[in-house]
Amino acid sequence: MKDINKDLKKMNQQTFDDAIEELLAGDMDMQQAERLKQASASDQAMASTIIDAWALRKGLDELEIESVSATLEARLLAIPDQSQSQTRNNRFAWLNPANWQTGQSWAIGSALAMSLIIAIGINSQPNRAEILQAREDIRIALAYLGKSLNQADQLTRDELNQQMHKILAGQAPLRQPYRDIDNPVKIENIDL
């Protein structure tokens, strides 16, 4: 673990890029995976990059292999072998379907991606401050709701009281026609 922490401190952009390339190539071992996991624990962007690399690796693996047409094969064979192609082959070895059978490195990469996905998932849960803000928001929403309903209720009661007083004082008939919108207060229905 000491070595890992030491490596962590040293991890710079170049070593990170190398690690990603190894993940893409399917050459990652347990120690490298652990290093990446530790390094990305406090860096969500780094964790996302690792997950993207792993997804790319997985996508490449799922590409269908098609047989080459005879004419294309003939043309490819006509291309002279070049010395630098060997280096390039090493660099892009992971593009070779024959190398995609590296089950162990796949499992390591997948396990790393899995742990990072879970970590990001956990991080996406609201923190304490957000929950406290949500509670405050609920309080404000309920306060406005209660206030609005209370006001509507009070207006309705006031109007009913006024009408009742008028009826009892003989200033209004017991049966009144339905009032239209031009009146100061219109109550169509209330059920609180």
Dist. CA 172–CA 183, nearest whole Å: 15
Kindly state the tokens that stand for 76: 């490819």
Dist. CA 132–CA 145, nearest whole Å: 20
Q: How far is the CB of 10 from another protein (least distance, A)?
A: 30
- Closest to another protein by CB, 114 vs 164, is 114
Q: How far is the CB of 22 from another protein (least distance, A)?
A: 18
Q: What are the angstrom distances between the C-alpha of 151 and each of 54, 102, 147, 156, 182?
A: 59, 71, 6, 8, 20
Q: How far is the CB of 138 from another protein (least distance, A)?
A: 6
Dist. CA 45–CA 29, nearest whole Å: 22
Q: How far is the CB of 110 from another protein (least distance, A)?
A: 5
Helix ranges (H only) for 26-102 are 30-40, 44-61, 70-78, 84-91
- Closest to another protein by CB, 46 vs 100, is 100
- Closest to another protein by CB, 11 vs 47, is 47
Kindly state the tokens that stand for 164: 């009742």
Binding site for another protein (CB under 8 A): 51, 55, 58, 61, 100-101, 103, 106-107, 110, 113-114, 117, 120-121, 124-126, 130-131, 134-135, 137-152, 155-156, 181, 184-192
- Closest to another protein by CB, 11 vs 108, is 108
- Closest to another protein by CB, 142 vs 168, is 142
Q: How far is the CB of 191 from another protein (least distance, A)?
A: 5
Q: What are the angstrom distances between the C-alpha of 86 and each of 21, 81, 83, 91?
A: 18, 9, 6, 9
